[in-house]
């Protein structure tokens, strides 16, 4: 069941459908997400709106959002920020690209902060939840970003960190699946085919990040407790994939880490 929530975004009344039923990672949910992904380029509002509702429901299964101060790292135009706010949270969207933040509504999301994920402009232990969806693979030093997310989270707070791993079928983003032949080669092929460079350029705005490296970082970090590590878009019964080296890099598509700040 969905709850319709009214809110005002840049002075205009809008409505969001926010999940009311408990989050369930079913096969049907996976099929719906993958089907919606085909509209990422043609109808980003539909795709990212659906993904944001799904993601916030998933996050709410791990922590109370009502009244929580949530940092949305790399939140861009604010799809996740809007759903977080509609769910009762107090979101702060942080992004290094003002143009990206203004891309959807012509203005940055309410309360947005311009800043880098590698040096999050928040004090230590500031937020109840630090959240990031599919940003880690776009920064040149992913584990510095991950450390920064932990730093700004209060003790007892939650870090929700997901990314598209390089060896997954979508690891090269719009240059996929040619990234399997090399990131630079895939980017060059895209440019020849489309007459323009890809938005996500290997070595500049897209970097290879692995599931194995993420799990090692999390398990060796004394400041966090791993609450969950799973393939984000898969049914819950497919969590075992994350524990199989090699296979997990290809089959997982997207890794989600849910951490508790010690």
Q: Look up residue 227 and give its two tokens.
A: 């609450």
Please state, in angstroms and rounded to a whole number, the distance separating the CA atoms of residues 115 and 97.
8
What is the homologous superfamily of the domain 2-165+209-261 according to CATH?
A: Vaccinia Virus protein VP39 (3.40.50.150)
Please check the confidence at residue 5 and state whether its pLDDT lies above 70.
Answer: no
Please check the confidence at residue 8 and state whether its pLDDT lies above 50.
Answer: no
User: Is 161 or 22 the better-scoring residue by pLDDT?
Assistant: 161
pLDDT of residue 37: 84
Please check the confidence at residue 257 and state whether its pLDDT lies above 60.
Answer: yes
Instruction: Let me know: does 208 contact 177? Beta carbons within 8 Å.
Output: no
- In the chain, the percentage of residues whose pLDDT exceeds 70 is 92
How sure is the predictor about 21, in pLDDT bands with cuts at 50, 70 and 90?
low
- Which sign, positive or negative, has the C-alpha torsion 93, 102, 119, 260? positive
CA 112 to each of CA 69, 70, 91: distance values in angstroms, whole numbers, following the listed order: 13, 12, 9
Instruction: Let me know: does 54 contact 89? Beta carbons within 8 Å.
Output: no
How sure is the predictor about 241, in pLDDT bands with cuts at 50, 70 and 90?
very high
Please state, in angstroms and rounded to a whole number, the distance separating the CA atoms of residues 25 and 48.
18
Sheet bearing 69-73, strands edge to edge? 113-114, 90-95, 69-73, 127-133, 153-164, 254-261, 224-231
Instruction: Let me know: does 215 contact 229? Beta carbons within 8 Å.
Output: yes
Closest CA to 224 of 186, 257, 194, 195: 257
* pTM summary value: 0.89
Q: Read off the pLDDT of residues 32-66 as tens digits, 9 standing for 90 and up.
A: 998 998 888 788 889 999 999 999 999 999 999 99
Instruction: Let me know: does 135 contact 74? Beta carbons within 8 Å.
Output: yes
How sure is the predictor about 192, in pLDDT bands with cuts at 50, 70 and 90?
very high
**What residues have CB less than 8 Å from 262, skipping those under 6 apart?**
155, 222, 223, 224, 225
Please check the confidence at residue 211 and state whether its pLDDT lies above 90.
Answer: yes
Please state, in angstroms and rounded to a whole number, the distance separating the CA atoms of residues 239 and 108.
36
Label each residue of 83-120 as H, E or C: HHHHCCCEEEEEECCHHHHCCCCCCCCCCCEECCCCCC
Q: Look up residue 9 and give its two tokens.
A: 């975004």
Maximum mean pLDDT: which of 35-49, 86-100, 106-120, 159-173: 159-173
Q: Read off the pLDDT of residues 132-190 as tens digits, 9 standing for 90 and up.
A: 999 999 999 999 999 999 999 999 999 999 999 999 999 999 999 999 999 999 999 99
- Kindly report the backbone phi and psi dihedral angles of residue 229, in degrees, each rounded to the nearest multiple of 5, phi listed first: -145, 115
If one counts every other C-beta atom within 10 angstroms of the C-beta of residue 54, the result is: 20
- In the chain, the percentage of residues whose pLDDT exceeds 90 is 80
pLDDT of residue 4: 43
First CA to last CA distance, the chain: 35
pLDDT of residue 104: 80
Bridge partners of residue 6, in order along the sequence: 15
**By CB neighbour count within 10 A (0-12 exposed, 13-18 middle, 19+ buried), where does 180 fall?**
middle
pLDDT of residue 161: 98
Domain boundaries defined on the chain: 2-165+209-261, 168-207
**What residues have CB less than 8 Å from 143, skipping those under 6 apart?**
213, 217
């Amino acid at each position: 069941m969905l709850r319709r929530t009214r809110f005002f975004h840049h002075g205009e009344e809008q409505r969001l459908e926010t999940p009311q039923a408990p989050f369930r990672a079913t096969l049907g949910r996976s099929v719906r997400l993958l089907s919606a992904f085909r509209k990422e380029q043609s109808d980003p509002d539909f795709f990212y709106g659906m993904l944001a509702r799904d993601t916030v429901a998933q996050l709410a299964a791990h922590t109370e959002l009502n009244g929580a101060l949530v940092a949305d790292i790399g939140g861009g135009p604010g799809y996740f920020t809007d759903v977080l706010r509609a769910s009762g949270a107090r979101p702060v969207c942080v992004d290094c690209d003002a143009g990206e933040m203004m891309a959807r509504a012509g203005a940055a999301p309410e309360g947005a902060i311009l800043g880098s994920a590698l040096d999050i402009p928040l004090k230590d232990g500031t937020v109840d939840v630090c959240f990031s969806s599919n940003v880690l693979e776009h920064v040149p030093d992913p584990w510095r970003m991950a450390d920064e997310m932990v730093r700004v989270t209060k003790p007892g707070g939650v870090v929700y960190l997901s990314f598209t791993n390089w060896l997954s079928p979508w690891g090269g983003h719009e240059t996929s699946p040619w990234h399997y032949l090399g990131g630079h080669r895939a980017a060059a092929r895209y440019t020849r085919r489309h007459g323009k460079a890809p938005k996500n350029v290997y070595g500049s705005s897209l970097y290879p990040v692995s599931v194995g490296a993420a799990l090692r970082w999390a398990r060796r970090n004394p400041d966090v407790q791993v609450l969950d590590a799973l393939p984000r878009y898969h049914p819950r019964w497919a969590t075992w994939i994350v524990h199989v080296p090699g296979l997990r890099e290809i089959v997982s598509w997207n890794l989600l880490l849910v951490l508790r700040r010690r």
